[in-house]
């Protein structure tokens, strides 16, 4: 390539010289020079031809060498690519197999954990279900017991004689839980004009401490009217329900009149009495009648109560009894305080005497501690001096005793 460039430059130089010579007048020397120059140009052309041939030859050789090298590189690159592909495929296969193994292990672990968890949960669920079934069986047994008890209660309530016993028992139980035995009585004859007695009566404070004022409480249970009303509800007929309710209210009105006539007798009793209905459902049905409470209070001086309302009423009475007891005992407290006041004045005079005596004793103690103590200390010092003298003389006596023993 360098030779080609040099040749081109020489040609350019010769071409420039040739043009300059042509522009000058021709002479013999120039002719000679021109001839020589033509020869040189020809030589240069020949040289250029040879160089061109050589360049072409070299280019051809280089091209062939390059093609050969490229072929070799392609073969080698293909082999390398094949080897790389095989290596990558092998590695990918190994990775795939390893991943498959890991996934199998993970699946086995997860399956094992899931199986353990499932078995645990199933076991807990079965245990819970078993406990619930046991509770259900237990509840069923209790329900059977309750059903038996309800049947027995129904039999009891269906008997006219036992109805009164049931209401009387429940009323007595409520009184026993709230009041003390000396605050109420059983089977009390509250009306001198009536030979019978009321089931229970609460003792109320009278005008004097010696008199007792009774509050009559009687239990009533209109079973037939109440059962008719329940059956009417089951039938779902509104007219039958209204008729049964009216019959129930008539029964309650009759009971209230009976209690008012037999058991209220002022001044032996309060001017009102209490009718107790032993079943909350019965009491609620009676209260469905508008104005029933006010009507019974105005017509017969009767207060209608159920188990809950009677308990609240008795609790209020109990609080009133405690307030009255405090008022009764307040006079006793004032008397005691007056006695304490008089005794306190006497105690003050005695305390003053004791204080003066203590003061005298304190002065005597101070005198004894001062004068007598100093006198005793002087005597003790004299004893100490004598003791010291005796201790000084004792060693000589001991030495003499030792010498006499040696002789």
Q: What is the pLDDT of residue 105?
A: 83
Q: What is the pLDDT of residue 255?
A: 92
- Tell me, yes or no, whether 156 lies in a domain: no
Task: List the Cα angle 260/263/268 in 5-degree steps.
Answer: 120
Model confidence, pTM: 0.45
pLDDT tens for the chain, 407 residues long, are 666 667 777 777 766 766 665 655 545 565 666 677 677 777 777 777 777 787 778 778 888 888 888 888 778 877 888 888 888 888 888 888 888 888 888 888 887 887 788 778 777 776 777 777 777 767 666 655 554 554 555 555 555 555 557 788 888 898 898 888 888 888 888 888 888 888 899 888 766 666 778 889 999 888 888 888 888 888 888 888 889 889 999 999 999 999 999 998 888 888 889 999 988 888 888 888 888 989 998 999 999 999 888 888 888 877 776 666 555 555 565 566 566 556 656 655 666 676 777 777 666 666 666 666 666 667 666 655 655 554 544 444 444 444 444 44
- Tell me, yes or no, whether 271 lies in a domain: yes
Reference 276, options 256, 305, 233, 255; nearest CA is 305
Task: List the Cα angle 307/311/316 in 5-degree steps.
Answer: 150
- Tell me, yes or no, whether 198 lies in a domain: yes
State how far Cα 282 lies from the chain centre.
41
- Tell me, yes or no, whether 185 lies in a domain: yes
- Tell me, yes or no, whether 313 lies in a domain: yes
- Tell me, yes or no, whether 291 lies in a domain: yes
Full domain range(s) for residue 273: 161-328
Q: What is the pLDDT of residue 399?
A: 47
Q: What secondary structure does DSSP assign to 224-248, as a single string? A: HHHHHHHHHHHHT-HHHHHHHHHHH
Reference 283, options 291, 275, 271; nearest CA is 275
- Tell me, yes or no, whether 131 lies in a domain: no
Structural domain total, the chain = 1
Structure tokens at 263: 């058991």
| H helical segments located in 288-372 | 292-300, 307-367
- Tell me, yes or no, whether 152 lies in a domain: no
Q: What is the pLDDT of residue 383?
A: 58
Q: Give helix 2-23 / helix 28-158 axis angle, nearest 10°.
A: 140
């Amino acid at each position: 390539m360098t030779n080609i460039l040099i040749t081109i430059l020489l040609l350019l130089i010769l071409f420039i010289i040739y043009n300059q010579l042509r522009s000058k007048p021709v002479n013999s020397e120039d002719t000679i020079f021109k001839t020589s120059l033509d020869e040189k140009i020809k030589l240069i052309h020949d040289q250029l031809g040879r160089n061109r041939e050589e360049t072409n030859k070299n280019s051809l050789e280089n091209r062939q060498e390059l093609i050969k090298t490229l072929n070799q590189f392609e073969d080698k690159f293909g082999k390398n690519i094949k080897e790389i592909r095989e290596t990558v495929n092998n590695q990918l296969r190994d990775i795939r197999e390893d991943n498959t193994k890991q996934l199998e292990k993970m699946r086995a672990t997860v399956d094992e954990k899931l199986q353990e968890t499932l078995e645990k949960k199933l076991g807990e669920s079965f245990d819970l279900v078993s406990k619930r079934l046991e509770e259900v069986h237990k509840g069923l047994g209790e329900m059977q017991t309750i059903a038996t008890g309800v049947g027995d209660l129904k039999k009891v309530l269906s008997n006219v004689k036992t109805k009164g016993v049931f209401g009387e028992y429940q009323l007595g139980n409520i009184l026993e839980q709230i009041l003390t035995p000396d605050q109420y009585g059983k089977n009390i004859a509250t009306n001198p004009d009536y030979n019978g007695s009321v089931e229970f009566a609460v003792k109320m404070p009278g005008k004097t401490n010696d008199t007792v004022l009774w509050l009559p409480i009687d239990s009533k249970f209109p079973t037939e009217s109440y059962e008719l009303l329940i059956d009417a509800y089951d039938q779902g007929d509104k007219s039958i329900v209204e008729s049964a309710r009216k019959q129930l209210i008539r029964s309650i009105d009759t009971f209230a009149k009976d209690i008012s006539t037999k058991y209220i007798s002022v001044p032996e009793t309060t001017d009102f009495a209490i009718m107790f209905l032993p079943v909350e459902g019965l009491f609620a049905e009676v209260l469905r009648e508008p104005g029933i409470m006010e009507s019974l209070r105005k017509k017969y001086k009767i207060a209608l109560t159920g188990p809950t309302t009677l308990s609240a009423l008795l609790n209020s009475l109990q609080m009133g009894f405690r307030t009255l007891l405090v008022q009764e005992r307040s006079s006793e407290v004032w008397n005691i305080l007056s006695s304490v006041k008089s005794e306190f004045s006497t105690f003050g005079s005695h305390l003053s005497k004791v204080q003066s005596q203590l003061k005298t004793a304190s002065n005597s103690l101070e005198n004894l501690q001062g004068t007598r103590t100093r006198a005793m200390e002087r005597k003790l010092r004299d004893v100490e001096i004598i003791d010291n003298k005796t201790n000084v003389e004792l060693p000589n006596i001991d030495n003499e005793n030792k010498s006499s023993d040696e002789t």
